[in-house]
Structure formats: C-alpha cells, structure tokens
C-alpha cells in the first residue's frame, strides 16, 4: 500500500523503481499468481489486514536523530482505518529504542479520532521503492468502527543487504520478534511458518528469537554498529600496514581465521556508505546522549570512516602531486555492487573533493547512471569504463563491480594519459596490472 498514486501505477505495470537483482522477475511472478497486489491509500488495505508492516524511511536529522515523522503519520493513519478483528502492527522500519510503545500510543490516538468521528489531515509516506515520499491525504469525517479494534505492536527488524535482499529475505540468519503478548508472538510464528518450513526442507534451521520490543529494536542498531566497527577497525589497521610495510589482505586473512573474529566485513577500502550504517550509528549515538552516555567507540567508528573516504585523494596527490588540471576517472558510483543506491556513497564525496581541487572528473557505473543524473553527481557521466578512462591521468576504483575485473587492460592502458590505478577496494589483481604497465596503488598494501 502506498499513497503515491504514480508509484502504485508504476508497480502495477510491473516497473520497479529501484534496482535489486531478481526483484523485477519475482514481483512479476507473484503478481501473475495473484499473491501480490499494489493498492493506493489506507482504506484499500488496512481494515481487512491480519498483519500490517510499517516499512517507511527513518532518515537522519542534522543532529543524528532518526526522523520518525513518516512512522508517526503511518501509525496514526493505521489507527484510523483498523478493522474490528485482531491485528499485529509490525515495525519493520529501523526505529529508535522505545518506539514500540510510542507507535502503540499513536495507533490508539488514531482509533480515538475515528471513534469520535473526527477526520484528520494525515501525512502518509511511500513504503515502497527505497525512499520515502510524502503526500497529504484529504480531510474526511471518519465513520466509527463497529467495535474497538484490538491490536499489538511488534518489533521485527529487517536484516536485508542491498544487492542480495531476496536471498536474505528467503534465507534469513535469524528472525527477531519483539513482542509484549503471547498472542502477538503466536501471530508472528504463524506468519513466518512457511518461510521457516521452507528452510528446514533445505536443511537449515532459522532461529526464531523472541524478546521484548526494546531489545529487538536494539538488536538492529547493535548489529549494524558492530559491522561498521569491523570495517573501520580493518581500515585503521590498513593505514598502519601502509606505514610499516605489511599487507592488510594477509592480516585480514590471518585474523579472520580466528573463529572469535570471523572474516566477514574485514575488507579494507574507502569505507562504508549506504542508507543504514550512517544513520543507525548516528541514531544510536544520539540515543546514548539522550540517556546521559557518550558512546566514544561509536563516534570514533564514524570519524575513521569519514577520513577513510579521502584516502584515495591523498594517494592521488602523492602520485600526481598537483591535482589541478588532471583528469580522474571514477569506476563505480553506487555505495556497493548490486544496487543503484547512491545514498551516502563514498563516490559522491570523492568526486566533490576532486572537483574542488581543480580536477576534471569522469565517472561510470554499471547500474547507477540514471540515479547519478538525478542526483547531480559532480562528474561527467560516461558510456562505459573505457570512455571514463580515456586520456585520464588516473583511475580510482570506487565500487567493486565484477565488470571492472574483466577489463581489456591493454586497451585501457593505451587510452590513458598516465596509467595510474588507485584500487579503493583492493579488488583487482596487482600483478596483472603491473604486467600491463600500470602504476598500481591499493589500500593498506
């Protein structure tokens, strides 16, 4: 359900407004089978629902707080449209600790307004398509429900990774349920039973973690904060490796074999981006300050990441000396492979800083070119990787798309003014590039 009529029509026609591998085909199959439909407005979906997921954006405000205005609007509107049968209202959005109680209060306020026959002018949000859009619903006098609706609010955080969201949804590492009633837990078990049974048939047992709402909300923040910490940690180690002559790839391999550490998220580079890590760390730090605690480690994780994005600028300056008048090619704009998402992508800051230093910036991404045009990236957008590098003084690999590992290095070399390649993700084979006559510069190597 969405209040954005244009977006609903787009989805009804089979067009997906974001890029996610396999998503368009999956949506088409489910719509064709009658299991999935897209509707506009709360009245079209809410009264008959047994389970309602709130899936709206919670972007960061300037002070680090999560902007929960979209959640607030949705919760009140749900209360105004609930039917008379029991329903679970599920916070899928990443919300500050304690939001379960707050959402319950807002839903009850919506129910009270409806019982009083009072209309509201509610701001509703787009729950689909990767970003929140705001529309104002018309004021109307609401008919009172036949009986006071009964509901529970549940926290059910999502752990989807862009680029592998379908696999993560169908084969989750765990399902976390924060609930305050046995009835709500039973409804959630019923809801997830087919998915859990599917995994059991494939030899996987998916842990079903039941806890209180505040703890479930904290699980999401803590998980993202820990993963971001691992990345910032290995980038700190990479910076020391460069100074002492060690290779961070070998260090990562060595410590990753320790079962207490694990190898995931120990890949040095230019830092993390996207919509989740930045806003979740900022929100968690802000929550700590609200309750009188300064989270020094979380603040340091963010500071290290911000500085790491400029590491490639320093490497270019070391090799090229003056940046002014040079042509720099950026390979990759999305914050990670498998998506066209530019939210807090490192490429944006790198392009902006290079432009400020007087460079001509040319860029190419296999999937994010249209998003880059909409975003107004400070770079000339090119047709392909070779076009971006034509007559360039250096290439910076920003996003480790597989396409960039399959380049004709001889053709690339011959088209550049200076064959310098700064590998911001340590994704390319150094020996191959040196053999083809490139100057190679990695991270922590």
| Dist. CA 227–CA 298, nearest whole Å | 11
- CA separation for the pair 216, 289 (Å, rounded): 20
Helix (H) or strand (E) holding 227: helix 213-244
Look up residue 27 and give its DSSP letter. Answer: H
**In contact, 364 and 383? CB cutoff 8 Å:** yes
Q: Hunting for tokens 């360039």 — which residue is that?
A: 392
Rounded Cα distance, 229 and 340, in Å: 24
Strand 123-125 and strand 134-136: the pairing is antiparallel
Is 87 designated active site? no
Calpha distance 98→105 (Å, rounded): 11
Annotated catalytic residue, options 87, 137, 276, 382: 276
Structure tokens at 233: 């940690």
Label residue 400 exposed, middle or buried (CB < 10 Å: 0-12, 13-18, 19+): buried
Residue whose C-alpha is closest to residue 50's, from 187, 171, 154, 165? 187
User: How is 407-444 classified by DSSP, letter by letter?
Assistant: --HHHHHHH-SS-EEEETTS-S-HHHHHHTT-EEE-S-
CB-count exposure of residue 351 (10 Å: 0-12, 13-18, 19+): buried
Report d(CA 44, CA 299) in Å as an integer. Answer: 44
Burial class (CB in 10 A: 0-12, 13-18, 19+), 15: exposed
Rounded to an integer, what distance in angstroms lies between the CA atom of residue 78 and that of residue 85? 14
User: Which residues belong to the active site?
Assistant: 276
């Amino acid at each position: 359900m969405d209040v954005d009529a244009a977006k609903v029509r787009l989805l009804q026609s089979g067009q997906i407004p974001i890029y996610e591998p396999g998503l368009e085909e999956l949506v088409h199959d489910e719509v064709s089978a009658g299991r999935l439909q897209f509707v506009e407005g709360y009245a079209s979906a809410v009264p008959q629902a047994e389970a309602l997921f709130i899936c709206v954006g919670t972007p960061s405000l300037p002070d680090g707080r999560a902007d929960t205005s979209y959640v607030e609007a949705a919760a009140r509107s749900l209360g105004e449209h609930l039917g008379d049968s029991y329903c679970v209202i599920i916070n899928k959005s990443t919300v500050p600790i304690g939001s379960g109680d707050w959402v319950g209060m807002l839903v009850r306020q919506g129910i009270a307004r409806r019982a009083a026959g009072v209309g509201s002018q509610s701001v509703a949000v787009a729950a689909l398509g990767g970003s929140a859009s705001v529309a104002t619903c018309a004021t109307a006098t609401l008919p009172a429900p036949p009986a006071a609706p009964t509901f529970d609010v549940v926290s059910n955080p999502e752990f989807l990774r862009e680029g592998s969201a379908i696999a993560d949804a169908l084969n989750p590492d765990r399902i976390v349920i924060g609930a305050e009633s046995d009835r709500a837990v039973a409804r959630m078990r019923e809801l997830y039973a087919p998915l859990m049974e599917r995994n059991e048939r494939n030899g996987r047992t998916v842990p079903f973690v039941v806890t209180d709402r505040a703890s479930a909300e904290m699980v999401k923040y803590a998980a993202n904060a820990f993963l971001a910490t691992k990345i910032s940690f290995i980038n700190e180690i990479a910076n020391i490796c460069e100074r002492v002559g060690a290779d961070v790839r070998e260090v990562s391999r060595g410590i990753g074999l320790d079962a207490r550490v694990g190898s995931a998220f120990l890949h040095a580079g230019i830092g993390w981006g996207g919509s989740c890590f930045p806003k979740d760390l900022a929100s968690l730090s802000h929550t700590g300050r609200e309750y009188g605690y300064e989270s020094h480690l979380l603040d340091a994780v963010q500071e290290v990441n911000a500085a790491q994005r400029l590491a490639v600028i320093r490497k270019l300056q070391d090799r090229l000396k003056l940046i002014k008048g040079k042509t720099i090619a950026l390979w990759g704009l999305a914050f990670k492979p498998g998506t066209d998402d530019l939210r807090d992508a490192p490429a944006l800051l790198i392009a902006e800083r290079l432009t400020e230093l007087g460079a001509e910036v040319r860029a190419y991404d296999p999937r994010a070119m249209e998003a880059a045009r909409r975003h107004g990236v400070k770079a000339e957008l090119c047709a392909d990787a070779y076009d971006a590098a034509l007559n360039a003084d250096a290439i910076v690999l920003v996003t480790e798309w597989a396409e960039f590992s399959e380049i004709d290095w001889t053709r690339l070399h011959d088209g550049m003014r200076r064959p310098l390649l700064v590998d911001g993700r340590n994704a390319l084979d150094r020996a191959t590039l040196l053999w083809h006559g490139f100057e190679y510069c990695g991270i922590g190597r």
